[in-house]
Structure 1
Amino acid sequence: MISMNKKLEGKVVLVAGAGGIGNALAIRYAEEGAKIVLGDIELATAEEAAHQISVMGGEAIALRLDGADEASVASAVSTCCDTFARLDGAHINFGFLADGNPQIGVLELPIEIYDETQRVNARGFYLCTRAVLPRMIEGGGGSIVYTSSAVADAPSPAQVAYAMSKAAGHALMRHVATRFGAQGIRANTIAPAMTIHARIEKLVPPEMIEWARSAAAIKARVGRPDDIAAMGALLLSDDGSYITGQVISIDGGTTMRP
């Protein structure tokens, strides 16, 4: 059932990117009282979460969203405002993950994979930001949360295109926080390490999960989507009203920045 302790009561939140993490975000934000618009390039995945939210007594709309397509993003934002008359928060969460082979570096990675990684992960976050900002400013302010990755700040012999795209997202977040803070806009980034959910468990060998566990300071488990959703709920809420411009690691102490 929907929680009685609702951090996001009365807020409208767009979650761009469904799936293992995105669905958990949407469900947690609905539990906190938000009205949700959840979009993904795979509509059926977004519909699963929207149905679950409806069963819990919340309000959610699922739609097809290609985060790297300007018209698709604009349509999703219009749906938020046309249906719920406002937009208070956005969690930009989608990603292109083809650059995942640990044996491939800058000399071996096909330029087509590099280009698509930047188009979706960097350009897509840019387009979503451009679409949501004017509506939030018109409404008196809002909060944007970006999902990144620990690889954006960690040295690695692999995932060069993916790490570059996520580092670009950090620069975008800081720009938004600095330029639009006076207009009531907050922007923050959540940077998880390995986050396990049903889809990932089918793809990741057990030894990789064990490696992630051993790399973290917390050894009891690896990260879960609910860990990201809990922080996202804080950052989107009035409880997080003095937090902006931050990259927050949700990784069990895998990384530790000053």
Structure 2
Amino acid sequence: MRGLKGKVAIVAGGARGIGAATARRLAEEGAHVVVGDLLIEQAQEVAADIVAKGGKAIAFALDGTKAASQAAIVKLALDTYGKLDIYHSNLAGGTEGDIDALNCPEEVLDRSFAINTKSHFLATQAALPAMLENGGGAMIYTSSGAAAAGNPWQVAYPMTKNAVHALARHVAQKWGKKGIRSNVICPGLVLTEAAQMHLTDEYREQGLKAIPHTRLGKSEDIAAAVTFLASDDGEWVNGQVWHVNGGTIKRD
């Protein structure tokens, strides 16, 4: 894809799954990558793999729910590579105990908000000044198909993911004239390492039956979409929520 060589990217939540695949894909396209994650050993493994293949990458122990940690990963990118062009805010989780609106405990809602909304807000506050100083950049947020699906068994996760859509559109509308592009990716059922560990064969079979496609998703599918949005090929896409799901959810 055009325009990624020499660009500097942060991938938050880059130790495994979609984030790791995105970090690797961006590096393959010539970007310099900072892999941020609480799972620092796995983040270091991703960065080392990129370097071993001829790319440029470093790892950082990121707690995306803390403003100081978000500021620190941006500072590391600036100190190491001199600028920041791309921030893929990919944190997600906090679903344990998330049932329905009558049975979801307050602490579960608070945890989901911290991981799935607050982290993206703090990433925006940390990254935007550096991007504006650089003349522009791309904020790319990972949401979920659950934000639009209307699941009866889950409430906090889709609520808090929906908030990211409003954030991305705000950023696009407020700073688009200054070169900032801000978009959201909503993955469908993607067979990440975590999903492989927790999904039953029956659940995967049901998921495949429900999708108008020949297979379920791979982390690399989402990485390709993120990389496109980060590249010059995606420079006229702004303020959008993309469902990358093999056709499971169809939206205008």
Please give the range of the TM-score, normalised by the shorter of the 2 chains: over 0.9
8 Å CA contact 2:2, 2:233 repeated in 1: no
Supply the distance in 2 between the matched residues of 1:159 and 1:12 (Cα, whole angstroms): 36
- Determine if the alignment matches structure 1 residue 254 to structure 2 residue 248: yes
8 Å CA contact 1:99, 1:161 repeated in 2: no
- Determine if the alignment matches structure 1 residue 233 to structure 2 residue 220: no
Supply the distance in 1 between the matched residues of 2:140 and 2:158 (Cα, whole angstroms): 18
Select which of 112, 117, 129 maps to 2:112.
117
- Determine if the alignment matches structure 1 residue 180 to structure 2 residue 139: no
Alignment of 1:121-160 (within 5 A): 121-160=116-155
Residue ranges of structure 1 left out of the alignment (5+ in a row): none
Q: TM-score, normalised by structure 1?
A: 0.94
Alignment of 1:54-65 (within 5 A): 54-65=51-62
Alignment of 1:188-227 (within 5 A): 188-218=183-213, 220-227=214-221
Residue ranges of structure 2 left out of the alignment (5+ in a row): none
Q: CA deviation at 1:168?
A: 0.2
- Determine if the alignment matches structure 1 residue 74 to structure 2 residue 79: no
How many pairs were matched up?
251
- Determine if the alignment matches structure 1 residue 39 to structure 2 residue 36: yes
Supply the distance in 2 between the matched residues of 1:59 and 1:163 (Cα, whole angstroms): 35
- Determine if the alignment matches structure 1 residue 97 to structure 2 residue 94: yes
Cα RMSD after superposing both structures: 1.2
Q: CA deviation at 1:216?
A: 1.4
Supply the distance in 2 between the matched residues of 1:158 and 1:169 (Cα, whole angstroms): 21
SS for the counterpart of 1:153 is: helix
SS for the counterpart of 2:185 is: strand
> Per-residue CA shift, 1:114-138, capped at 9, x if unaligned?
1110012111110000100000000
8 Å CA contact 2:11, 2:89 repeated in 1: yes
Supply the distance in 1 between the matched residues of 2:23 and 2:32 (Cα, whole angstroms): 9
Supply the distance in 1 between the matched residues of 2:35 and 2:187 (Cα, whole angstroms): 21
SS for the counterpart of 2:149 is: coil
Q: TM-score, normalised by structure 2?
A: 0.97
SS for the counterpart of 1:29 is: helix
Q: CA deviation at 1:162?
A: 0.2
> Per-residue CA shift, 1:69-113, capped at 9, x if unaligned?
010110000000011000000100011232476xx2111111111
- Whichever residue aligns with residue 195 of structure 1, its letter is V
Supply the distance in 1 between the matched residues of 2:193 and 2:112 (Cα, whole angstroms): 23
- Whichever residue aligns with residue 85 of structure 2, its letter is D
